[in-house]
Every structure is written in structure tokens, then in C-alpha cells.
């Protein structure tokens, strides 16, 4: 159980990587952009991959009537997400420490994982909703209006995960280091659960 | 009989076998070789050349940037000539760059680019280049590939033995080809001899900023100082200049300046003179010369007239200047990478003379002088001679080195480039050039560390090398592979203007420092409008200043009223883009000026003096975006006595 608890603590602490590294990356390449434009989504806000990328993405998007990329203060998510992450890290560490001293059992590890998964799915859902709004809620007076074959306006929603072609742009959306650390951290808490469970089964047999 | 027939058949068969064998050998060999050469210069679409080459534009006044080995031109950098393409020399910001003591000069004759050095190696910070006609030295910054400084050289005329840098870019040196009265005065031309002087200028380069300042001028006898090179390695601290017209003729020089069997190479110990000057030596003499500096923060050049220059008479500094006799009106003066050998390319000589720096020092130490000229000791030719390359060709002009002990000399008259060995003086290879070469260049050529893979020759005569285009032709250049024992001609490419010298450098040294945009936040131009909110139109008497912005795909403002006939209208255009390679242009109908090309983050100003009432359009001249054609606007010009108020708008009507 000691080993499992240490892994639980490490796993939770890995979430702190989100404060330093981006959760997600959206990369926009085009014939005219051999060096793709990019936006990095951090839990505290969105930043350009290069200094002027956000400004240049906004500049291009004005042709199709997209809203500008929100500043940190324009979305409640960027103040709430960091608090949620800090809370989950603290909770995970506390559970780990209590587990180390056998004050709680391994089931708490699974509890933490389930809670984190629910929060993560909610976050993804929220993120996807923003992408939908960003890609479809367009200025009716946009310079360029593209419609689907059925006459409905084309959506410029970037993919939540993976690749999509949007007009001349190749858009790729993938987790970045912060995101990978999050997944790794969560996986470690699962490992902690299994180890804890095995240790407890051994004890009882 | 049958026997005879069989043996004949046998012989024929054997012969056939031989010839066919030979044939196949030949064809496969030449085929393989030529395709090999094509591969050596082929840079696939989207890939980059391995070297930059900076070719002087000669009478175009500019500097062109080429890639090697492809021979593709990437850019023409305006230096001494107005350049309507970008508005250089036409915009209010850049007009001061072309100011001189003679006023604004729209043109120049650019000759010898040289790349800055650190520890005897090219460092890729700056390119310096001289203007021959109205003596000036320019500095081009290799972050922006733009001219950022020009200094006029007083007391000089025909600024030709220039602009070579010392091994730590302590100095960029500018020598005069024509000697003149110093100071200039009204006197009979026939009194040239003994009265005219030649100024050799040592322009210091500030280590951090690269700012140029004339530290001192050495006032030499009235010869013609043709070309020069710095000492390096063991000879660092010295500078060598070829001379012709030591006869001091002032008319029909082609005959009268070719009488002496030997002219001189002047050896100048600049470290010694520098020390003398640092201790207060020399004389400040009145002068008048322009120093023009382009500020990348204000995007504006300023021209300052300097009023004095420090001159040094060689006789004041004993042991600082010597003459080395060199046969037959030497042209190029080239120093090998070790600094030991000084090649005097006697252009009327059949042989190539090479002097030894070590022997020169010995002769000076032992005071073995053949005489003196104007108080300057003349060394004995034989005492200093390192060797002679016998009969290498006709009309040697310039020599470069590959860093592997070989030298390459161009021969104007026999139209060839000859490879020879330093030390043994034997000719190793010769290849024709097309036609009549001037300079040649090897990347890192004027340094202690040449990159001896490519060599190119810039020719003076083109004739039939390309498709005919009437009487006036661009010059041809040929690229050779010099990595093997024998030189191999790889490529023939046209150049722009008349390239004299060229400086080349491995691309890896500079390509990553090349700037993509100017940061708008850093723009301190007094008339910059950094956002739509800053745009305005202000009348000040009959001057109207329009602070305008550009961004894909509109001008702001794009409707302007209240301009009157007789006004002087300043369009101050700020390009708000911060994206690589998104310039916007500006052109106004009927404007007696060039258009502008404004880089992202930059502000440029164009003056328009409307002469007729009406509503006159302006537009973006650079196809900036899908809606480039829509990027246009109107200026309403009213009569001089009208009371149309100054108003401007974007996206709504002026009420």
C-alpha cells in the first residue's frame, strides 16, 4: 500500500504540469503558411505558438466572420479550470498521504480517478461547445460566406481531436505536453488503485 | 583464300569490338559527368542553397543577393541608388541616406562588398560596400538585409581600393584611386606632380553597433591607389594597397602611367598609426562630409554633416609606411589566408609577383632600402619577393584562395581563371571564362578561413552567353567546383548591373538571424499610427499629415476630404501586419514620386502635391490578400480657396 500511495501522490502532482505546459494544441497550416500558425490552450488562457500567431489567426478569421480568439478574462473557464486542477492535486496528495499511513484504503484512489474523469469529460464537453460556437456563430456580414452543398452555412469548427481540412487550412488538434502529463498522472492513479487493491487482497488471503 | 577471309573477319571483329568498347566508354563518361554537374547546381523546389553570395551591382549602385550553387537571385538591396521598387531614396525616411556634401545624389557606383569578420573569419553581421564615384562606404545589416549606414569619405576621389575589413572588423578601409589637391583648391592641372595627394581612410567600426567613424586618413603621395587587402594572421595590423601611376601623370594615363617598369604596393602598419593617433598624433583638418544613419526603431534615417577629419602624414610616423616595388601597374592586391603572401596582380605583366611578409619585415629590420619616395622608404624588389608564377596567362587582375594552399587568379586578356600553388608557384589548372573576367570570389575569400568548395568568376563581357537582348547586356558569371584538383565549370548565370567584387558566406552562418517582421510595438516613428484609433489627418499651414494604417485588406482611413490644391500632403503609412511576408504598397494617382512598399510593423512616408481639384484614388500596389483589389481609397482635392473641412473616415460616409 505504501508503494501504491507514493504512485498516487506522484500521479496527482503530474497535473501541475498543466500550469507550465499547454493542455491542447491547434495547428493551422496552409499553402501560404508552410510554418503553421498555432494556438496553445493552457488552463489559464490561449496563447499563440509564436508571438503574433493569435493576431494573425484573428486577422485571417475576420474574412469568414469568426469572433476573435477569447482573452483569458473573457472566458470563465480560464479562472475556474486552474482552481479545479489545484483542488484535484491537493485532494490526490492528501488521499495519497492518508493511504501511506493506512488511514484510507485503495478505493479512495479509484474515487479520485472517477471524479477526475467526470471533471475531464465535462471540460472536454465545454471545450467542444466553445469550438462549435467559435466555428459556427459567424458574423452575418462576413466577407466570405461558404455554404455546404445543402445550402447551410459551412462550419469552421476546428476538430476536437485529430485532423480536418477547413478551406485552405489543414487543422490539426492534439493534446500537448500538459495534456499528456494529465493523462499520465490519471493513469498512475489507476495503477495506484490496482497496486493498492492487490496489496490489500494479499493481506486478506 | 578462306583463311584470309576468316582472319580479315577476325581483325574487323576485333576492331569493332575496340571501337564499340571505346564508344560506349566515352558516351557513358561524358553523360555521367554532365548529369553530375547538373546535379551539383540543382536545388530542388523548396530547398535552400548552401551559400549566400552578395554581388556588387556596379553602376546599379546596389547589392544583389544570390544563392550558390543555384545562381538564383533572391533580392536586390538598395544602397547608393534610389530604388522605386520599395521607395528607398524616395520616401521621406530614406532620402537622407543619399545625402552627401554635394547634396542629394540619386545614384552610385558600388564596387567591393566585404563581410564583417571576427578572429579572421566571416561572422555574417554586416556587409560593407564602397561607392566609387562620390566616395562613400555603406553598411548593410544582415538581419534585415537593408542599408543602415552610409559615411562619405572626404579628401578622396574614385573610392576604389575599398571597402575591405580587418580581421576583427576594427576598420573598414577606403583608399582613393584618384589623387586630388588636399584640401581641394583652384590650381592648374599640370601641377599635379608633387602637389596632389592620395588619402587612405581607416574607418573604425564600433564592436557592438557597427557604427562607422573615420578614425584617420593617411595622406600619401599622388599615386593611384587601386586595390587593397588587410594583413591577417601574422600580418594582422598591416594593410596593403596596390598603386599605379607612380609616374604621377595627369593626362593620357593609359600611356603616361604605364612607363615605369614597376609601381608599388604600399604597406601600411595601421596599428602603429592607430597608436600614434590614440596618443594625439595627426592633425584635425576642416572637412565636410555626410554621415547617414538609418534607425530601425524610428524607421527613419538622419544625415549629419561632419566638419573635420584627422589626417596623418606618413613622414610623421617613421616605420609605418613602406613601398614594395611591384611590376607593371598592379591591380588586385591579395593576401593569402595565412597572411604571409601578398599577391601583386601586375595587369600588364606576363608573370604574377608574390611578396613575402616575413621577408618584408626582415628587409625593414635590416634597413635594406632602395631609396625613398616623398620620405617613404622603398624596399628592394628582390629582398621581398617570395616567388613568381611564370607565364600563367595574360592580364592578371585578382586572386582568391581556397584555404588548402591554392590560389586562383583571373586573367582578363586571356579570359581564363588559373589555379596555382602557393610556395611552389606552379600552375595546376586553367579553365576558360566567358568572357574577360574581373573579380572572382570564394566564400570567405577575404578572410583567414575560406570555404573552398565553390568559386565564381564575374565577367565583363557577355556577348553570346545567353539569348540576345539587344545591345545592352547584363554581365555573366560562372560557377566552378573547386573541391577537386581540377576546377570544374558547373553553371553560367546572368548577374545584375556590373558586379565587381562579391562576398559569399555559408548560409548556415546567417540564415537563422534573418528578421521576418518589424515589431509594431517597437515602432517609434513620430507619425506612426499603431491602430485604427491613432489614425488622423492634421493640417499645419499648407502641409497635411495623414497618419494612415494598412491591414488586410483596407487602408484606414480610406476616405479623406479637405485637401486643397497647393497642399503638401504627407502620407505616413504604418503597416499593422505582424505576419511574415505581408507587405502593403501605396500609390497615389499622378504623384511625382515612387510608390511605397511598407513591411509589417514599418512606417514609411510619401509626399504628394496635388495640382488639380477632383477626387483622386490611391491603392495598395502589393497583391497582399484575396481582397487586395478592394484595398483602395479616395482623396477629395478642393480648390485652394475652398473651405472644405478636413475629415476622414473608414467604413462610413463623411457627413
Judge whether residue B11 has pLDDT over 90.
no
Model confidence pLDDT, tens digit, residues A18-34: 999 999 999 999 999 99
How far apart, in whole angstroms, are the C-alpha atoms of residue B652 and residue B68?
52
User: Does residue B21 lie within any of the structural domains?
Assistant: no
Chosen domain end from B484, B513, B542:
B513
* Contact in structure between B246 and B372 (CB atoms under 8 Å): no
How far apart, in whole angstroms, are the C-alpha atoms of residue B622 and residue B587?
10
Residue A125 to chain B, least CA–CA distance (Å)? 33
Model confidence pLDDT, tens digit, residues B200-237: 999 999 999 999 999 999 999 999 999 999 999 999 99
Asked if A63 and B626 come within 8 Å (Cβ–Cβ), the reply is yes
Compute chain A's Rg from CA coordinates.
21
Q: What is the pLDDT of residue A205?
A: 64
A141 touching B, CB under 8 A?
no
Write down the mean pLDDT value for chain A. 93
Structure ipTM: 0.87
Contacts with B627 from chain A: Cβ below 8 Å: 63, 143
Residue B547 to chain A, least CA–CA distance (Å)? 21
Q: What is the CATH number for B629?
A: 2.60.40.420
Chosen domain end from B513, B539, B567:
B513
Domain of A23, in residue numbers: 2-199
User: Does residue B416 lie within any of the structural domains?
Assistant: yes
CA distances to B114, B173, B339, B625 from B166, rounded to whole Å, are 10, 8, 12, 46
Same domain, B444 and B550: no
How far apart, in whole angstroms, are the C-alpha atoms of residue B491 and residue B591?
43
User: Does residue B25 lie within any of the structural domains?
Assistant: no
Model confidence pLDDT, tens digit, residues B155-175: 999 999 999 999 999 999 999
List beta partners, residue B430.
B418
Model confidence pLDDT, tens digit, residues B375-391: 999 999 999 999 999 99
Model confidence at B349, in pLDDT bands (50, 70, 90)? confident
Q: What is the pLDDT of residue A152?
A: 87
User: Does residue B324 lie within any of the structural domains?
Assistant: yes
* Chain centre distance of CA A56: 23
List beta partners, residue B68.
B51
Same domain, B480 and B616: no
Query: Average pLDDT for residues A39-62, to the nearest whole number?
Result: 95
Nearest CA in chain A to B626: A63
Counting residues of chain B whose pLDDT is more than 70, the rounded percentage is 95
Same domain, B131 and B273: yes
- The grid coordinates listed for A128 are 467542444
Q: What is the CATH number for B186?
A: 2.130.10.10
Measured from the Cβ of residue B615, the count of other Cβ atoms closer than 10 Å reads 11
Same domain, B487 and B574: no
Judge whether residue B83 has pLDDT over 80.
yes
How far apart, in whole angstroms, are the C-alpha atoms of residue B182 and residue B159?
15
- The grid coordinates listed for B530 are 499603431
Asked if B552 and A59 come within 8 Å (Cβ–Cβ), the reply is yes
User: Does residue A155 lie within any of the structural domains?
Assistant: yes
Nearest CA in chain B to A59: B552
User: Does residue B183 lie within any of the structural domains?
Assistant: yes
Output the DSSP codes for A58-85: HHHHTTTTPPPPPPGGG-THHHHHHHHH
Residue B63 to chain A, least CA–CA distance (Å)? 28
Of B578, B626, B627, the CB nearest to A56: B578
Residue A143 to chain B, least CA–CA distance (Å)? 9
Same domain, B334 and B478: yes
User: Does residue A205 lie within any of the structural domains?
Assistant: no
User: Does residue A204 lie within any of the structural domains?
Assistant: no
Q: How many CB pairs under 8 A join A and B?
A: 17
Judge whether residue B193 has pLDDT over 50.
yes
Model confidence pLDDT, tens digit, residues A143-161: 888 888 898 888 999 999 9
Q: What is the pLDDT of residue B19?
A: 43
- The grid coordinates listed for B581 are 511576408
Query: Average pLDDT for residues B245-258, to the nearest whole number?
Result: 91
Same domain, B452 and B529: no
Measured from the Cβ of residue B647, the count of other Cβ atoms closer than 10 Å reads 14
Judge whether residue B20 has pLDDT over 90.
no
A68 touching B, CB under 8 A?
no
Judge whether residue A69 has pLDDT over 70.
yes
Q: What is the pLDDT of residue B3?
A: 52
Of B517, B579, B627, the CB nearest to A59: B579
Q: How many domains does chain B have?
A: 2
How far apart, in whole angstroms, are the C-alpha atoms of residue B286 and residue B283?
10
List beta partners, residue A30.
A33
Choose among B196, B218, B88, B189: nearest CA to B147: B88
Contacts with A59 from chain B: Cβ below 8 Å: 551-552, 577, 579
Judge whether residue B10 has pLDDT over 80.
no
Query: Average pLDDT for residues B124-135, to the nearest whole number?
Result: 98
Length reported for chain B: 655
Strands B568-575 and B543-551: parallel
Chosen domain end from B481, B513, B545:
B513
Judge whether residue B21 has pLDDT over 80.
no
List beta partners, residue B161.
B175
User: Does residue B26 lie within any of the structural domains?
Assistant: no
List, in order, residues 6 or more apart from A80 with CB less than 8 Å away. none
Model confidence pLDDT, tens digit, residues B612-653: 999 999 999 999 999 999 999 999 999 999 999 999 999 999
Asked if B578 and A143 come within 8 Å (Cβ–Cβ), the reply is no
Same domain, B83 and B167: yes
CA distances to B113, B229, B397, B438, B558 from B459, rounded to whole Å, are 17, 21, 12, 6, 50
Question: Would the CA dihedral through A183, A187, A188, A189 be positive or negative?
Answer: positive
Same domain, B408 and B525: no
Asked if A59 and B517 come within 8 Å (Cβ–Cβ), the reply is no
Chain A interface mutation, best of B580, B581, B599, B652, highest count of A Cβ atoms under 10 Å:
B580
Same domain, B580 and B451: no
Judge whether residue B24 has pLDDT over 60.
no
List, in order, residues 6 or more apart from B527 with CB less than 8 Å away. B545, B547, B570, B572, B603, B605
Q: What is the pLDDT of residue B647?
A: 97
Model confidence pLDDT, tens digit, residues A191-201: 999 999 998 88
Measured from the Cβ of residue A83, the count of other Cβ atoms closer than 10 Å reads 10
Of B578, B580, B626, the CB nearest to A55: B578
Same domain, B431 and B534: no
Domain of B603, in residue numbers: 520-649
Same domain, B474 and B366: yes
Same domain, B497 and B539: no
User: Does residue B171 lie within any of the structural domains?
Assistant: yes
Interface residues of chain B, partner chain A, Cβ below 8 Å: 517, 551-552, 577-580, 626-627
**A118 exposure class (CB count in 10 Å sphere: 0-12, 13-18, 19+):** exposed
Compute chain B's Rg from CA coordinates.
29
Choose among B327, B325, B335, B333: nearest CA to B377: B325
Residue B512 to chain A, least CA–CA distance (Å)? 14
Model confidence at B35, in pLDDT bands (50, 70, 90)? low
Choose among B205, B196, B204: nearest CA to B225: B196
Judge whether residue B25 has pLDDT over 80.
no
Model confidence pLDDT, tens digit, residues B265-293: 999 999 999 999 999 999 999 999 999 99
Of B517, B551, B627, the CB nearest to A59: B551
Q: How many domains does chain A have?
A: 1
Contacts with A63 from chain B: Cβ below 8 Å: 626-627
How far apart, in whole angstroms, are the C-alpha atoms of residue B323 and residue B81?
37
Q: What is the pLDDT of residue A151?
A: 86
Output the DSSP codes for B302-362: EEEEEEEEEEE-GGGSTTSEEEEEEESSEEEEEE-TTS-EEEEEETT-SSEEEEEHHHHHH
Chain B interface mutation, best of A59, A144, A146, highest count of B Cβ atoms under 10 Å:
A59
Asked if B552 and A52 come within 8 Å (Cβ–Cβ), the reply is no
Q: What is the pLDDT of residue B22?
A: 43
Model confidence at B14, in pLDDT bands (50, 70, 90)? very low
User: Does residue B580 lie within any of the structural domains?
Assistant: yes
Q: What is the pLDDT of residue B33?
A: 55
How far apart, in whole angstroms, are the C-alpha atoms of residue B9 and residue B522?
89
Please tell me the least confidently modeled range out of A89-98, B14-23, B69-78, B487-496: B14-23
Residue A58 to chain B, least CA–CA distance (Å)? 11
Question: Would the CA dihedral through B429, B434, B437, B440 be positive or negative?
Answer: negative
Of A35, A56, A143, the CB nearest to B627: A143
How far apart, in whole angstroms, are the C-alpha atoms of residue A61 and residue A158?
12
Amino acid at each position: 500500500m505504501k508503494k501504491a500511495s507514493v504512485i498516487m501522490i506522484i500521479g496527482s502532482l503530474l497535473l501541475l504540469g498543466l500550469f507550465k505546459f499547454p493542455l491542447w494544441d491547434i495547428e493551422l497550416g496552409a499553402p501560404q503558411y508552410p510554418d503553421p500558425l498555432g494556438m496553445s490552450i493552457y488552463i489559464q488562457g490561449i496563447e499563440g505558438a509564436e508571438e503574433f500567431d493569435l493576431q494573425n489567426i484573428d486577422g485571417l478569421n475576420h474574412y469568414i466572420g469568426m469572433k476573435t480568439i477569447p482573452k483569458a478574462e473573457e472566458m470563465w473557464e480560464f479562472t475556474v479550470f486552474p482552481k479545479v486542477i489545484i483542488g484535484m492535486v491537493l485532494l490526490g496528495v492528501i488521499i495519497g498521504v492518508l493511504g501511506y499511513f493506512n488511514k484510507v484504503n485503495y478505493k479512495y484512489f479509484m474515487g479520485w480517478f472517477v471524479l477526475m474523469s467526470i471533471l475531464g469529460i465535462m471540460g472536454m464537453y465545454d471545450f467542444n461547445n466553445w469550438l462549435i460556437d467559435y466555428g459556427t456563430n459567424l458574423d452575418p456580414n462576413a466577407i466570405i460566406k461558404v455554404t455546404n452543398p445543402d445550402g447551410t452555412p459551412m462550419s469552421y469548427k476546428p476538430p476536437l481531436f485529430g485532423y480536418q481540412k477547413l478551406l485552405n487550412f489543414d487543422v490539426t488538434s492534439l493534446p500537448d505536453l500538459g495534456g499528456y502529463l494529465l493523462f499520465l498522472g490519471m493513469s498512475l492513479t489507476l495503477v495506484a488503485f490496482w497496486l493498492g487493491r492487490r496489496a490489500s487482497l494479499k493481506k486478506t488471503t | 583464300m578462306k583463311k584470309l577471309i576468316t582472319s580479315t573477319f577476325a581483325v574487323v571483329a576485333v576492331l569493332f569490338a575496340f571501337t564499340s568498347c571505346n564508344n560506349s566508354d566515352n558516351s557513358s563518361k561524358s553523360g555521367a559527368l554532365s548529369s553530375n554537374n547538373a546535379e551539383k547546381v540543382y536545388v530542388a523546389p523548396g530547398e535552400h542553397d548552401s551559400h549566400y553570395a552578395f554581388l556588387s551591382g556596379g553602376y546599379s549602385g546596389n547589392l544583389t543577393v544570390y544563392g550558390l550553387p543555384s545562381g538564383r537571385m533572391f533580392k536586390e538591396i538598395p544602397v547608393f541608388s534610389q530604388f522605386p521598387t520599395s521607395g528607398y531614396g524616395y520616401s521621406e525616411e530614406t532620402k537622407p541616406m543619399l545625402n552627401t556634401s554635394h547634396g542629394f545624389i540619386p545614384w552610385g557606383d558600388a564596387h567591393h562588398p566585404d563581410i564583417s569578420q571576427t578572429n579572421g573569419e566571416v561572422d555574417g553581421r554586416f556587409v560593407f560596400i564602397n561607392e566609387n564615384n562620390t566616395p562613400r562606404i555603406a553598411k548593410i545589416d544582415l538581419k534585415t538585409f537593408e542599408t543602415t549606414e552610409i559615411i562619405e569619405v572626404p579628401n578622396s576621389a574614385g573610392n576604389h581600393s575599398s571597402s575591405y575589413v580587418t580581421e576583427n572588423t576594427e576598420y573598414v578601409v577606403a583608399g582613393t584611386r584618384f589623387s586630388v589637391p588636399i584640401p581641394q583648391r583652384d590650381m592648374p592641372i599640370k601641377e599635379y606632380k608633387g602637389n596632389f595627394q592620395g588619402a587612405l581612410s581607416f574607418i573604425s567600426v564600433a564592436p557592438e553597433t557597427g557604427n562607422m567613424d573615420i578614425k584617420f586618413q593617411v595622406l600619401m603621395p599622388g599615386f593611384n591607389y587601386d586595390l587593397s587587402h588587410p594583413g591577417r594572421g601574422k600580418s594582422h595590423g598591416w594593410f596593403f594597397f596596390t598603386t599605379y601611376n607612380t609616374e604621377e601623370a595627369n593626362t593620357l594615363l593609359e600611356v603616361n602611367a604605364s612607363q615605369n617598369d614597376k609601381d608599388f604596393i604600399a604597406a601600411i602598419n595601421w596599428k602603429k598609426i592607430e597608436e600614434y593617433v590614440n596618443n594625439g598624433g595627426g592633425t584635425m583638418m576642416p572637412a565636410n562630409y555626410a554621415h547617414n544613419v538609418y534607425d530601425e526603431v524610428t524607421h527613419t534615417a538622419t544625415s549629419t554633416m561632419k566638419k573635420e577629419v584627422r589626417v596623418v602624414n606618413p613622414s610623421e610616423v617613421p616605420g609605418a609606411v613602406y613601398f614594395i616595388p611591384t611590376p607593371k601597374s598592379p591591380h588586385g592586391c591579395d593576401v593569402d589566408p595565412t597572411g604571409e603572401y601578398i599577391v601583386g596582380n601586375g595587369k600588364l605583366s606576363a608573370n604574377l609577383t608574390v611578396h613575402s611578409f616575413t621577408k618584408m619585415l626582415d628587409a625593414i629590420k635590416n634597413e635594406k632600402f632602395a631609396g625613398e619616395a616623398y620620405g617613404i622608404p622603398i624596399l628592394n624588389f628582390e629582398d621581398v619577393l617570395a616567388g613568381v608564377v611564370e607565364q600563367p596567362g595574360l592580364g592578371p587582375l585578382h586572386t582568391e584562395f581556397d584555404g588548402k594552399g591554392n590560389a586562383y587568379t583571373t586573367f582578363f586578356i586571356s579570359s581564363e581563371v588559373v589555379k596555382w600553388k602557393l610556395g611552389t608557384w606552379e600552375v595546376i589548372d586553367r579553365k576558360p571564362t566567358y568572357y574577360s573576367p574581373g573579380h572572382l570570389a570564394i566564400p570567405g575569400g577575404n578572410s583567414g578561413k575560406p570555404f573552398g568548395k565553390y568559386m565564381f568568376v564575374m565577367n565583363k563581357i557577355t556577348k553570346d552567353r545567353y539569348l540576345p537582348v539587344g545591345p545592352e547586356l547584363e554581365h555573366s558569371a560562372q560557377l566552378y567546383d573547386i573541391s577537386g584538383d581540377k576546377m570544374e565549370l558547373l553553371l553560367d548565370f546572368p548577374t545584375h548591373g556590373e558586379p565587381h567584387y562579391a562576398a559569399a558566406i555559408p548560409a548556415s552562418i546567417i540564415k537563422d538571424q534573418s528578421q521576418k517582421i518589424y515589431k509594431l510595438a517597437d515602432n517609434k516613428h513620430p507619425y506612426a499610427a499603431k491602430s485604427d484609433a491613432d489614425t488622423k489627418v492634421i493640417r499645419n499651414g499648407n502641409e497635411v499629415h495623414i497618419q494612415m494604417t494598412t491591414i488586410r485588406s483596407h487602408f484606414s482611413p480610406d476616405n479623406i476630404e479637405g485637401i486643397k490644391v497647393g497642399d503638401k500632403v504627407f502620407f505616413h503609412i504604418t503597416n499593422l501586419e505582424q505576419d511574415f511576408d505581408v507587405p502593403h504598397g501605396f500609390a497615389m494617382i499622378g504623384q511625382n514620386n515612387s510608390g511605397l512598399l511598407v513591411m509589417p510593423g514599418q512606417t514609411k512616408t510619401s509626399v504628394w502635391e496635388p495640382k488639380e481639384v477632383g477626387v483622386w484614388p490611391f491603392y495598395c500596389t502589393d497583391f497582399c490578400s484575396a481582397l487586395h483589389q478592394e484595398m483602395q481609397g479616395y482623396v477629395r482635392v478642393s480648390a485652394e480657396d475652398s473651405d472644405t473641412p478636413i475629415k476622414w473616415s473608414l467604413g462610413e460616409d463623411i457627413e
